[in-house]
Amino acid sequence: MKHTLAVLVENRPGVLTRVAGLFSRRGFNIESLAVGVTENPDTSRMTIVVNGDDRVLEQVMKQLNKLIDVIRVSDLPSEEAVNRELALIKVGVDSTTRAEVMQIVDVFRAKIVDVGIKSLVIEVTGDESKINAMEALLRQFGIREMVRTGKIAMNRGAKVVQTEKK
Amino acid sequence: MTKTKMSGAKAVIESLSQEGVEVIFGYPGGQVLPLYDELYDADVRHILVRHEQAAAHAADGYARATGKVGVCLATSGPGATNLVTGIATAYMDSVPIVAITGQVPRFMIGNDAFQEANITGITLPITKHNYLVQDSKDIPAIFKEAFYIARTGRPGPVLIDIPKDTQVETIEFEYPGEVKLRGYKPTFAGNEQQIKKAASLILKAEKPILYVGGGIIFSESSEELRTLAEGIMAPVTTTLMGMGAFPSEHPLSLGMLGMHGTRYANYAIQESDLIIAVGVRFDDRVTGKISAFAPNAKIIHIDIDPAEIGKNVRVDVPIVGDARNVLKTLIKYVKQEQVKTEAWNKKIAAWKKEYPLTYKKDNFLRPQFVVEQISEVCPDAIIVTEVGQNQMWAAQFFNYRNPRTFISSGGLGTMGYGFPAAMGVKVGRPESTVIDIAGDGSFQMNSQELATVVQNDIPVIVAILNNGFLGMVRQWQELFFNRRYSATCLSESVDFVKLAEAYGALGLRAKKKSDVRDVIKEAVKSECPTIIDFVVEREENVSPMVPAGAAINEILDLE
């Protein structure tokens, strides 16, 4: 089972290594990891998707909490959170396929961010299943290159993940 | 405090003094020259070891024996990597040490400079936390944090890597009064509701057992443990790390459990209906086959590290907190008029009578006999051990009365730990007799420290149970590999008496049972570093034994 964790960490060099190293040496599997600074420049936020049952999740959270640079770890159940990922997909096109690809882009409310003679770069955001669906549809045209950010997530409603418990 | 201008190196020494550090175990080198120059005039005692590994083990032994933070110091590159085994040893056994290493100047980091090693990267998985000093003005705050992290919560090693150029820069020194760490707030008091739940389970239990370990010793809660055990009349078994947490001779003591534990401790665990686990981590050497461990027991697990709870076994009542604090509260809730454990204690008493720890009592000099004699001649000694058979016999046959009197590498099982650790113990507790119960294999891993103990007048006693084998490995080969003694025979290659004398230490030897007491007494009386070569039966086995992968009540007696 997949779990999405929001991890607030000190915005310091080496913190990513500590987190990644912890996962590998404890034998946990990272599905994806996205990291960036928060509203507070001293704090970064990682969104980590891990695979495992509830017991594995509990150990992951406890072990993460043991790292001195980790300030807070929260589990974000998918039904209670907004989940988004961004992907850039470069698709090979010619005059016969270009229109069809652009139609798919439209249906998915994606964007074409670069147009070449033989290729298009498409930017798509959405949850994992949307991006997977789009990838599947575009595959027939030939995906030359694809890059995904990994999932980021946020609680719905007023609930927030904060450095200090209120 | 007012700000004073000083070099980074001076700031390091000043920080150590602010932390009350009285001794450093270290070895100099190119990238710590400014630090060593400051040490030349400093009040803190520096003990020059002969190998950096020994500095880390000595700091560890000092910390285990005194409860204070041990400090070791090495140069960059090979100096730092030589500390690694010692740091890993301290990490596995939750020992508070601060390891200081020199590093190449900042502008050279990453260039594969001479004696450069990425020691913060290397020690990432074996430190509680580590630091690379990026800015010399951070030195005081980093030291304040490092000592705080090392000694609080679940203790552990912290490493500080200090580039040489930050040691010579001038900073304004001001030692911080407190630490501000957003991500580090150990839970000290246990949750009251959980403790009440635990108490109600305890009051209902008919076959309770206390299973306790190093957490009792680190939290200094031996008194509370005793009050609880006597209050609820529950037997107590300790892990290797917990030896000394509960007096071995106490009627409720079951001694050690697990692979080389007593039969009665293992039987009691397997038959109990409630395990009260305090400061332990359900290690595989304790539980044996985990799916067959304590099938009828509910488990209360008290530990300061939440990650230990539920890691290896399912727990019914988890309590996160400092053992002493939790036990104090628990004691309040289990005051009762009548105990239901009478039948249970009778059953255990019968097991104890039927299956005592023993060995063949004949005319041959057996290692267990040596340990028993040490126990009788030096009942108040602090015992340090190497790793292997010597360690198990030291755990089984010495009568421990007090915490911090049994010091051993439990988790990592580091051969070569005992002698340098004993050195640290003696420096921290100079009034005590300190005896390293050693094997001839382990001792040779750090025997160079004879030079250190002689030069610094640190009168430890090394009692070598010399069987000319890597005994524990040989035992496994005998039992599971058809007596094919592959690479385990050391033969009588070293004359340990002459070795001692070569370094200016006292060397003694005993070959007969009747010599044992005399040499022990002579060693104690000499008040100088001493090696005693006990030439013991070569193929003696540690018994009883639970084979790897078996349930802990499937225990064998070995000849």
Predicted confidence band of residue A111 (pLDDT cuts 50, 70, 90): very high
Closest CA to B461 of B378, B369, B364: B378
Considering the domain architecture, whether residues A8 and A64 belong to the same structural domain is answered as yes
Residue of B nearest to A59 (CA): B307
Cβ contacts from A onto B, under 8 A: 38
Contacts of B431 (CB under 8 A, 6+ apart): none
The verdict on residue A163 lying in a domain is no
Closest CA to B507 of A143, B499, B254: B499
Considering the domain architecture, whether residues A62 and A106 belong to the same structural domain is answered as no
Residue of A nearest to B182 (CA): A71
For this structure, is B373 an active site residue?
A: no
The verdict on residue A159 lying in a domain is no
Considering the domain architecture, whether residues A70 and A44 belong to the same structural domain is answered as yes
The verdict on residue A19 lying in a domain is yes
Pairing assessment for the beta strands B23-26 and B70-74 based on DSSP bridges: parallel
Place of tokens 């495992």: A52
Considering the domain architecture, whether residues A137 and A94 belong to the same structural domain is answered as yes
Q: Looking at B114, B364, B480, B481, which residue is catalytic?
A: B114
End-to-end CA distance of chain B: 66
* Mean pLDDT for the stretch of residues B207-228: 97
Distances in Å between the Cα of B532 and the Cα atoms of A74, B436, B496 are: 57, 10, 8
What CATH number does residue A61 fall under?
3.30.70.260
* pLDDT at site B3: 83
Place of tokens 């727990």: B315
Give the distance, in angstroms, between the CA of residue A163 and the centroid of all CA atoms in the same chain: 21
Distances in Å between the Cα of B498 and the Cα atoms of B458, B502, B524, B535 are: 19, 6, 19, 15
pTM metric for this prediction: 0.96
* Residue A103 in contact with partner chain B when CB distance is under 8 A: no
- Last-in-domain residue among A75, A98, A113: A75
Please state, in angstroms and rounded to a whole number, the distance separating the CA atoms of residues B507 and B519.
10
Q: Looking at B19, B52, B372, B449, which residue is catalytic?
A: B52
Q: Looking at B164, B207, B298, B328, which residue is catalytic?
A: B164
Q: Do A68 and B311 touch (CB under 8 A)?
A: no
The verdict on residue A61 lying in a domain is yes
* pLDDT at site B493: 76
SS3 category, B319: strand
Considering the domain architecture, whether residues A65 and A100 belong to the same structural domain is answered as no
Q: Which two tokens stand for residue B238?
A: 């300790």
Q: Which residues of A touch B183 (CB under 8 A)?
A: 9-10, 67-72
C-alpha R_g of chain B: 24
- Given a cut of 90, whether residue B337 has pLDDT beyond it is no
Residue B546 DSSP class: P
Q: Where in the sequence is the domain holding A100, given as residue range(s)? A: 84-152
Residue of B nearest to A54 (CA): B310
* Mean pLDDT for the stretch of residues B477-490: 96
* Residue A125 in contact with partner chain B when CB distance is under 8 A: no
The verdict on residue A158 lying in a domain is no
Considering the domain architecture, whether residues A71 and A95 belong to the same structural domain is answered as no
Q: Do the Cβ atoms of B440 and B496 come closer than 8 Å?
A: yes
Structural domains in chain A (count)? 2
DSSP per-residue codes, B74-113 = E-STHHHHHTHHHHHHHHHTT--EEEEEEE--GGGTTS--
Q: Do the Cβ atoms of B394 and B405 come closer than 8 Å?
A: no
* Mean pLDDT for the stretch of residues B28-53: 98
pLDDT digits (tens, 9 = 90+) for B282-299: 999 999 999 999 999 999
- Last-in-domain residue among A75, A97, A130: A75
Contacts of B401 (CB under 8 A, 6+ apart): B244, B247, B248, B249, B379, B380
- Last-in-domain residue among A75, A95, A125: A75
Considering the domain architecture, whether residues A66 and A97 belong to the same structural domain is answered as no
- Given a cut of 80, whether residue B2 has pLDDT beyond it is no
Place of tokens 């595959």: A139
For this structure, is B311 an active site residue?
A: no
Please state, in angstroms and rounded to a whole number, the distance separating the CA atoms of residues B442 and B415.
5
* Residue A101 in contact with partner chain B when CB distance is under 8 A: no
The verdict on residue A102 lying in a domain is yes
Predicted confidence band of residue B331 (pLDDT cuts 50, 70, 90): very high
**Out of A18-27, B170-179, B181-190, B329-338, least confident range:** B329-338
Neighbours of A41 (CB within 10 A): 8
Q: Which two tokens stand for residue B184?
A: 């580090």
Q: Give the residue from A7, A17, A62, A165 with the most B CB atoms within 10 Å of its CB, the best one to mutate.
A: A62
Q: Which of B181, B307, B310 sits opposite A68 (nearest CB)?
A: B181
* Mean pLDDT for the stretch of residues B213-234: 97
Please state, in angstroms and rounded to a whole number, the distance separating the CA atoms of residues B502 and B500.
5
- Given a cut of 90, whether residue B559 has pLDDT beyond it is no
Considering the domain architecture, whether residues A71 and A89 belong to the same structural domain is answered as no
Considering the domain architecture, whether residues A57 and A101 belong to the same structural domain is answered as no
The amino acid that residue B15 corresponds to is S
Please state, in angstroms and rounded to a whole number, the distance separating the CA atoms of residues B31 and B16.
19
Q: Which two tokens stand for residue B518?
A: 């005399």
Please state, in angstroms and rounded to a whole number, the distance separating the CA atoms of residues B201 and B431.
44
* pLDDT at site B346: 97
Q: Which of A13, A62, A68 sits opposite B307 (nearest CB)?
A: A62
* Residue A24 in contact with partner chain B when CB distance is under 8 A: no
Q: Give the residue from A7, A12, A59, A66 with the most B CB atoms within 10 Å of its CB, the best one to mutate.
A: A66
- Given a cut of 50, whether residue B541 has pLDDT beyond it is yes
* pLDDT at site B374: 98
* Mean pLDDT for the stretch of residues B251-273: 97
The verdict on residue A17 lying in a domain is yes
Q: Give the residue from B138, B182, B303 with the most A CB atoms within 10 Å of its CB, the best one to mutate.
A: B182
Q: Which two tokens stand for residue B330?
A: 């628990």
CA angle B265, B268, B274 (to 5 degrees): 125
Considering the domain architecture, whether residues A105 and A125 belong to the same structural domain is answered as yes
Helix B52-66 with B418-428: angle, nearest 10 deg? 50
For this structure, is B114 an active site residue?
A: yes
What CATH number does residue A147 fall under?
3.30.70.1150
For this structure, is B512 an active site residue?
A: no
- Given a cut of 70, whether residue B341 has pLDDT beyond it is yes
Q: Which of B125, B129, B307 sits opposite A68 (nearest CB)?
A: B129
Q: Do A68 and B121 touch (CB under 8 A)?
A: no
* pLDDT at site A147: 97
- Given a cut of 80, whether residue B24 has pLDDT beyond it is yes
For this structure, is B207 an active site residue?
A: no
* Mean pLDDT for the stretch of residues B486-505: 94
From its phi and psi, is residue A73 left (phi > 0), alpha (psi between -120 and 50) or beta? beta
* pLDDT at site A165: 53
Residue B380 DSSP class: T
Q: Do the Cβ atoms of B72 and B61 come closer than 8 Å?
A: no
Report the 3 state secondary structure along B386-425. CCCHHHHHHHHHCCCCCCCCEECCCCCCCCCCHHHHHHHH
The amino acid that residue B548 corresponds to is A
Please state, in angstroms and rounded to a whole number, the distance separating the CA atoms of residues B376 and B330.
36
**Domains of chain B with CATH codes:** 4-173 (3.40.50.970), 192-354 (3.40.50.1220), 367-535 (3.40.50.970)
pLDDT digits (tens, 9 = 90+) for A38-53: 999 999 999 999 999 9
Q: Do A68 and B307 touch (CB under 8 A)?
A: no
* Mean pLDDT for the stretch of residues B475-479: 97
pLDDT digits (tens, 9 = 90+) for A126-166: 999 999 999 999 999 999 999 999 999 999 999 999 887 54
Please state, in angstroms and rounded to a whole number, the distance separating the CA atoms of residues A51 and A29.
6
Q: Is the peptide bond prior to B105 cis by the omega test (within 30 degrees of 0)?
A: no
Q: Which two tokens stand for residue B292?
A: 């067959």
Considering the domain architecture, whether residues A64 and A103 belong to the same structural domain is answered as no
Neighbour order of strands in the sheet with B406-407: B406-407, B382-385, B434-439, B461-466, B530-535, B506-510
Q: Helices in B161-299 by DSSP H: which ranges? A: 164-168, 192-204, 214-218, 222-232, 263-271, 284-287
* pLDDT at site B491: 81
* Percentage of chain B lying above the pLDDT 70 cut: 99
**Backbone φ, ψ for residue B186 (5° rounding):** -60, 145
The verdict on residue A164 lying in a domain is no
Q: Do B310 and A13 touch (CB under 8 A)?
A: no
Q: Do A66 and B149 touch (CB under 8 A)?
A: no
Predicted confidence band of residue B1 (pLDDT cuts 50, 70, 90): low
Q: Which two tokens stand for residue B344?
A: 């249970």
Considering the domain architecture, whether residues A68 and A91 belong to the same structural domain is answered as no
Adjacent-strand bridge partners of B240: none
Distances in Å between the Cα of A24 and the Cα atoms of A129, B92, B412 are: 27, 18, 20
* Percentage of chain B lying above the pLDDT 90 cut: 97
